[in-house]
Amino acid sequence: MTALSNTAGLLEISGVTVRFGGVTALDDVSFAVNEGELLGLIGPNGAGKTTLLRAITGVITPGGGSIRLAGRDITGLPIHARVRLGLGLSQQLVRPLRSMTVIENVALAAGHARTLSPLAALMVRERSAERESALKFLDMVGIAEVADGQPANLPLGTLKRLEVARALALEPRLLLLDEPLAGLNHVEAARMADTIAALNKDGLTVILIEHNLSEVLRVCSRLVVLDNGRRIGEGEPRAVMADATVRAAYLGREAGDAAA
């Protein structure tokens, strides 16, 4: 156990195991995320990164283990309750609300205080403050010009950024980003990574899942590496990437892919 895992973090994952039929997607995974940290969660395809994020947000229920947010056990809580405790998720597979415009997608998230209780929600019609703040988040991720666009007509790169803007609009304590750079070109990806780093500097705690390792190494302060559902590495980015087990996991998978 490293010293980092022992300090009480903002998020503590202990012994989380997830099985899909015969596949063990996560096998007894433990680690902690400290307040104010920008943690990179990396690993080859199928390593279990997305599954871990889905377990954290409550989309799937782990077969074993526990998840604590700010000291509170959230393992049994429904998704919306975890979001209200401060989780914000940008998903790998984009899920925009297709019946709404881009800005309406984000304004709904920005109005999380308004939608807390149905009856209170019924009393209020005013949305201008939430739309204003939504526009701010769209601008932050660089897609303010398509604010009034329909998600159905937008390219993947834009929808990925919509996911991120929507997660940000929840004003989370812990931002979970699943491949936010996918679908972006070099320049856009670097800009998005900068935005994430800037948010982190302002105090936001982030878990970043990314295959774009150069950006990960550029912005992350610490890495956790998963392979085949197990945690195979953790620590300072350069040290982790130099680790033999980690290199083997990446190289082995690539060699396997090349052979296939």
Partner 1 sequence: MVEIIGAYQVSLITTMGISVILALSLNLITGFCGQISLGHAAFIGAGAYGAAMLTTAGWPFAAGLAAGTAIAAVLGLVVGLASLRVRHDFLAITTMGVGFLFLGVVRQQEWLGGEMGISSIPDAGLGKGGYMVLVVLIAAAIALFSVHLKRSWMGYAFDAIADDEDTARMVGVDAARYKLTAFAMGTGLAGLGGGLYAHDVKFIAPDSFGFIESITILSMVVIGGIGPVWGVIVAAAVLSVLPFWFQFIEEYKLLLYGGLLFAVMRFSPGGLAGFVAGFVAKHKRRRAAAP
Ligand X SMILES: Nc1ncnc2c1ncn2[C@@H]1O[C@H](COP(=O)(O)OP(=O)(O)OP(=O)(O)O)[C@@H](O)[C@H]1O
Residue 153 near ligand X by CB under 6 A: no
Which residues contact Mg ion by CB under 5 A?
50, 92
Q: Under rule CB under 6 A, which residues in 24-83 are in contact with ligand X?
A: 25, 43, 45-51
Work out how close the CB of 58 gets to partner 1 at its nearest, in angstroms, rounded to a whole number: 8
Token duo for residue 229: 């559902």
- Cα(187)–Cα(192) distance, rounded to whole angstroms? 9
Question: At residue 55, what is the residue type?
Answer: A
Q: Which residues between 74 and 113 bind partner 1 (CB under 8 A)? A: 78-81, 83-84, 89, 91, 95-100, 104, 108-109, 111-112
The residue (of 50 and 195) whose beta carbon lies closer to Mg ion is 50
DSSP class of 64: E
- How far is residue 170's CA from residue 87's CA, in Å, rounded to a whole number? 8
In contact, 86 and 77? CB cutoff 8 Å: no
Q: CB 170: neighbour CB atoms within 10 A?
A: 19
Q: Does 72 bind partner 1 (CB under 8 A)?
A: no
Distance CA 231, CA 203 (A): 26
Select 60 or 144, whichever has its Cβ closest to Mg ion: 60
Which residue, 201 or 247, has its beta carbon nearer to ligand X? Answer: 247
What is the SS3 assignment for 46? coil
CB of 250 to Mg ion, least distance (A): 15
The site for partner 1 (CB under 8 A) is made up of: 57, 59, 78-81, 83-84, 89, 91, 95-100, 104, 108-109, 111-112, 114-116, 118-125, 127, 166, 169-170
